[in-house]
Amino acid sequence: MRLIRSWVVAAAAFGCASPGMPPGGPPDVEAPQIVGIAPDSGRVSVSPRSVVFRFNEVVSETPPGATTLANLFVISPQHGTPVVSWQRDEIAVRPRRGWRPNTVYSVTMLPGLADLRGNVRREGAATLFATGPVIPATAIRGVLFDWAAGAPVRAGLVQAITADSTSYIAHSDSAGAFTLPHLPAGAYEVKGVVDGNRNRALDPREPWDTITVALTDTARVELYAFVHDSIGPRIEQVNAPDSVTLRVTFDVPVDARVPLDPAWVRVLGPDSIPVQVTSVALPETAPLDTAMAPAPERPSAMTRARPYRQVILTLAAPLQPGATYTVAANGFPGLLGRVASSSRTITIPQPAPAPPATPP
């Protein structure tokens, strides 16, 4: 009885206590913030077991925008998929085969990391250090374009590959620009890939381009990624926008650096009678709308002519309703310089019959 009485007195005292802050509080809508990265950027002659990213809260082990946590981290130079260890409010990153001696490393965390409430970081972070005594002041800078689209590539994969297959990697920004800094002087094959599935590798049918660079100090390059088709452009379809015009569409892009030759295309009418073509021209294309974009986001301009996939044929005489015409092409070069012969037919529709007259 004495025990029960004591519990009642304690409960009454708790109930009469002055009110405090209610439990909970405002919802957490901030993404995790970095409070430190070890080793510090710019260190030399260090060989840590791992590079450690520390955060102000527990981060998610399964980020919403990536297959695995390892997909959010990049080590350059690359030696296979990095080993990434989750430790609540810390993430440790290291190469699968350890750090090489006398090598400059950059370790980058890409945007996409989230906390346990699903708040996602929109910014990345990086650190740079050397296992040797020197960080060279060198760089390969440039822009990666999707040549056929005529636009810079956002988040494209860029690699600088040495003769011994060491691969330094970077990703292009929203304007297609990239930087591969602090590389040892020497020869590199610089490759740019439109990495659609974000697997950091070149897959079939992904656009890519390469260029060779002899780096001594700094170098600037432009990469024009395209699908490396083994055959030339062939006619995909033919349309008749009006009675004296044919629009010819190809299945792959045509290299616009080669002047358009009207002799590359012929039109045959019924009974294979040649039809006179007065002009062969490219359709007008609207320029990229960059007026409303903030200055840092504006795409870089290509210095190479954008490929085309259509030509407009103007005929000397009107197309005859009900007649079938054949358009033949041979000589249009693909982006690898290859050509192919092809043809397509089009039957001009008959005009719709006039509606019957209504009686008076």
Boundary (domain end) residue, out of 130, 164, 189: 130
| List of residues 6+ apart from 177 with CB closer than 8 A | 141, 142, 143, 152, 300
Claim to verify: residue 53 and residue 111 sit in the same structural domain: yes
Residues 241 and 356: their CA atoms lie apart, in Å, by 27
What's the confidence (pLDDT) of residue 172? 94
Please indicate, yes or no, if residue 334 is contained in any of the structural domains: yes
| Same domain, residue pair 183 and 259 | no
User: Residue 181: is its pLDDT beyond 70?
Assistant: yes
Judged against a pLDDT cut of 80, whether residue 298 lies above it is answered with no
Which residues lie below 8 Å from residue 175, measured CB to CB, with a gap of 6+? 143, 152, 296, 297, 298, 299, 300
**Long-range contacts formed by 258-267: CB under 8 A, 24+ apart:** 258/333, 260/311, 261/331, 263/331, 264/329, 264/330, 264/331, 264/332, 265/311, 265/313, 265/327, 265/328, 265/329, 266/327, 266/328, 267/313, 267/315, 267/325, 267/326, 267/327, 267/328
What pLDDT, on a 0 to 100 scale, did the predictor assign at position 292? 39
Residue 323 lies in a domain: yes
Is the same domain home to 148 and 60?
A: no
The CATH code of the domain that includes 64 is 2.60.40.3710
Of residues 121 and 80, the one with the higher pLDDT is: 121
Average model confidence (pLDDT) for the chain? 88
Residue 268 falls inside a structural domain: yes
Same-domain check for residues 159 and 244 = no
Query: Which secondary-structure segment (H or E) carries 180?
Result: strand 177-181
Q: Which of 97, 130, 163 is the last residue of a domain?
A: 130
Most confident of 72-81, 247-256, 292-301: 247-256
The confidence band for 177, taking pLDDT boundaries of 50, 70 and 90, is: very high
Q: Which domain holds residue 50?
A: 34-130
Number of domains the chain contains: 3
pLDDT for residue 266 is more than 70: yes
